[in-house]
Structure 1
Amino acid sequence: MSSTSSDDRTTPPTVWLAHGRHLGSDAADVLRANLQRRKDAGTLDDFREHAATEDTPDRVLEARWRVGAEVTVRARLTLSPVSSGGQDWVLAAEAEQPWDLMWPSPATMFWPGTSDVFWDRDAATGLRLRELSLLPEDEKDIRRLLRQAVRSSWAVHVVVHEAMTTDQRGRRPLAGMLPPSLRHRVVEHRALPHQLPVVNWALKDFGVEVPRGGAAVLPGRPVAPGYNGRDFAVRSVFLDGSEPTELLATVTRFAGLPKPLPEGGREAVTALREQWQLLTMEEELARERALVQMYSEALEAMTKSRDLYREAAERAGEALEIYRQNAPAPLEPASRDPQTGSPLQQLGRTFGRWKETLRPAARDEAADRQPD
């Protein structure tokens, strides 16, 4: 697993992310069967399914394979049911070096490549990832769809304007001509000739304008640093079945931008890195050694703390003993007769006798002063 540090808000260059929807309830069975076929064919090194619990009802599957010159890829797919039916899936893959778009798409490692299994739906818009989609006829629906595409989708959305009515050759999907790792991350929208004003009105707030007969790559949210609507617009796209070289280069360039993590993307990357369980024998051994080392260091720290505490207690005891030996003897309290009471009581009695003695003399003096 790559430990390359990166900004928490930016997708690491080693990571591949996708978010889609499977229209059915058998997604886990489809995944399990395809992963087993891949493993039997030697495409996958191994895969594993996590047991669902009450705390984590989502299904989680992990897979590991190698690409290029023995570069290991680890991927984690999470299935979550949705209220409208079907299951959302989040797929996070990470390689041991920066991701190469010419590597196989992680989606094809988990999902079958056949078109009869509807797993390749964009979770935000519901549109297929491997096909082109005509924009709806209603203007309100167009605005709603394009805003969802910009604000909520993890995919790369491309709008192509058909300047004139085209035939089947002009409806060739863009995904099949893209690098393998981009084919399941792109949604292609087709605007009919009369829909261009509505499209540009809907995209005005996002700083994007689709040229007549051209195409534009939508920014997404958050907007990637360095994105400018003019730089990712293609002025003309020939819809005659030929390869749109400039448009393909523009989409690929956009995919290479350092993009901020989408909502939920950080959690997917963190789970891939911190909750990974599909370990090789060497990795299991390394992990156990690391645990032994950690416990050994903790035990050593506890032992050292105990010894320091014992030494401090012994020194405190020695200091107390020295103090006791050198302290001056306490003064003995003055002995007194229990019948006489305390000195304060004795003083009170003395003062009372002196007052009684003064009283007769005071009376005699007062009598002498009275007139006859």
Structure 2
Amino acid sequence: MSNSATDRATTPRTVWLARGRHNGAPTAEDVLRRNLRRLKVDEVLDDFAEPPDPEDTPGRVFEARWRVAGGVTVRARLTLLPPQGREDGRKWRLVAEAERPWDDAWPSPATMFWPDDEETAWDHHDAVPELRLRHVNPLPADDKVMRRVLRDAARESWCVNVVVHEAMTPDALGKLPLARLLPPGLRHRVVEHRAAPHQLRAVNYALKDLGVEVPRGGAVVLPPHPAPPDHDARDHAVRSVFLDGSEPAELIDVLRRFTTLPRPLPEGAEQALTGLREKWTLLTLEEELARQRELVAMYAEALEAMTRSRDLYREAAERANEALAAYRDAPAPPAERPAAPSPSPLQQLTRTFERLKVSAKALRPAPASTAARDAGDTGEAEAGGTDRPS
């Protein structure tokens, strides 16, 4: 599969994606199992499973199924990737798919696997560990570090990165993360970068590489990398964000429009979505029966194709045997005399030289002695003829 963003499939409207990193203790597996069991007992989940590790999927897999909006089924798959080297924590990726286009008012799939509390540090950014999904992330004071953080956070990200500029130093309520005011479906997909009042010029200089600019006292959503050809940064900027604890309605509207834009699946998401669809094991009784019927129909079709192939092969073999028998019973044709082989070019050239040699001898003049002797013989013959009595 090509790694080019233009070659990837478009993210379906029914799909919800997120990924991150779990740090600290207890282990990620223990946290997931404990939370899944609790939600199953509380009847929040219909069911969950931990299928055996497949050979072609590294890490550990957890599946969960629940219903929203009075009966819309959501299936989700979380994969814990194996640790690499000496890195801290475990990276995870989560893909959920509903039976109809996703509604941000539905519960966050992240909290169907991870506990929605502050004690468990499962919400670290996968590429930039110092960033967190549910927290305010102040931009670094160093300009070079700021540029690196924004670039790495936006590159191939499954999250939505938004930069908020503080027009003035907010109070304690304004310092709280905006994520708590977002709809559940957006809450764990947004990384909030916060720029201090004096950092406006520095942050806009750092955002030049991404082709966007944050308004004074406003916010801007960072484009995916690479950005779609029709991406317009002005459509994803907010002139004013009031950090007073009120709902940021304009920012929420921009985030919703951004997440519903048709865009290629980020790197690794297509593989995760394929795993959810093709390797799903948490089936209901009706789904299991439907799958078995599909298998029976598939086997019946394969058997019918094999039977047709067998009949065609048998018919072809019978015709071949009939043709062979007819050939054996037919009288042998009379033997034909083999045609004289045509002379080779060398033989033709040799014969031509021989004919030229004979012709040359015939045309060559006789020597003088031979000519005189021949003339004497001719005179004697004529004299003798004269003396002969009549």
> CA separation in 1, counterparts of 2:68 and 2:290?
23
In 2, are the aligned partners of 1:224 and 1:257 still within 8 Å (CA)?
A: no
Q: Are residues 54 and 74 of structure 1, via their aligned partners in 2, closer, same or farther at CA, if it must alter by over 3 Å?
A: closer
- Please report the TM-score for the alignment, with normalisation by the length of structure 2: 0.80
For 1:96-175, list aligned pairs within 5 A. Answer: 96-126=99-129, 127-175=131-179
Deviation, 1:54, is: 6.3
Instruction: Tell me whether 1:11 sits opposite 2:14 in the alignment.
Output: no
What is the match of residue 79 of structure 2? 78
Contact in 2 for aligned 1:156/1:218 (Cα 8 Å)? yes
Task: State the SS of the aligned residue for 1:250.
Answer: helix
Q: What is the letter of the counterpart of residue 77 of structure 2?
A: R
- Stretch moving more, 42-51 or 314-323: 314-323
Gaps of 5+ in 1: 1-6, 334-368
Point out the structure with max Rg over C-alpha.
2
1:85 and 1:65 map into 2 onto residues whose CA distance is 31
Q: 1:328: Cα distance to partner?
A: 4.1
Contact 1:157 1:186 in 2 (8 A): yes
How far off its partner does 1:332 sit?
Answer: 12
2:271 partner letter: E
Instruction: Measure, in 2, the Cα distance between the counterparts of 1:274 and 1:308.
Output: 35
% of aligned pairs identical?
A: 64
Question: Which residue number in structure 2 is paired with residue 366 of structure 1?
Answer: none
- Which of residues 68, 76, 94 in structure 2 aligns to 1:91? 94
* Structure 1 residue 227, shift from structure 2 partner: 2.4
The 5-angstrom pairing of residues 1-372 of structure 1 reads 8-24=8-24, 26-52=27-53, 56-80=57-81, 81-83=83-85, 84-126=87-129, 127-224=131-228, 226-328=230-332
Asked whether the equivalents of residues 221 and 262 of structure 1 are also in contact (C-alpha less than 8 Å), the reply is: no
**Between 257-266 and 102-111, the greater mean CA deviation after superposition:** 257-266
Matched position secondary structure for 1:288: helix
Amino acid of the residue matched to residue 248 of structure 1? I
In 1, Cα distance between equivalents of 2:336 and 2:267? 82
Deviations, residues 291-320 of structure 1 (Å, cap 9, x unaligned): 122122112211111111111111222223
Distance in structure 1 (CA, Å) of the matches to 2:309 and 2:54: 40
Residue 32 of structure 2 aligns to a residue whose secondary structure is: helix
Q: TM-score, normalised by structure 1?
A: 0.83
Q: Deviations over 1:137-180 (max 9, x none)?
A: 11111111111122142211111111222211211311111111
Q: Whole-Å Cα distance in 1 between the matches of residues 55 and 327 of structure 2?
A: 64
Contact (CA 8 Å) 1:10, 1:260: kept in 2 or not? yes
- Please name the residue that 2:341 is paired with: none
State the 1:224 CA deviation.
4.2
The answer to which of 36-45 and 152-161 deviates more is 152-161
